[in-house]
């Protein structure tokens, strides 16, 4: 999951020019799935903030 989070940050920051605040706002709107898939996405988002 760390690699996925780092990739998401690279894409958001380098390709889309998002700021950390932009990223936090964007990811706060995610409502993907439920159960294990939602927990995995939440962990990727949490980890992504440590890579910013």
Residues 3-37 pLDDT 10s: 999 999 999 999 999 999 999 999 999 876 777 88
Tokens matching residue 6: 């780092």
Q: Are 49 and 10 in contact (CB under 8 A)?
A: no
Number of structural domains in the chain: 1
Return the pLDDT at 21.
Answer: 96
CB atoms within 10 A of CB 8: 17
Q: Which is higher by pLDDT, 52 or 44? A: 44
The domain in which residue 9 lies consists of 2-51
pLDDT at 4: 94
């Amino acid at each position: 999951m760390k690699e996925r989070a780092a990739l998401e940050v690279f894409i958001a920051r380098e390709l889309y020019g998002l700021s950390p605040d932009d990223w936090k706002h964007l990811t706060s709107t995610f409502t993907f799935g439920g159960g294990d898939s939602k927990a995995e996405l939440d962990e990727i988002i949490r980890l992504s903030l440590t890579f910013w």
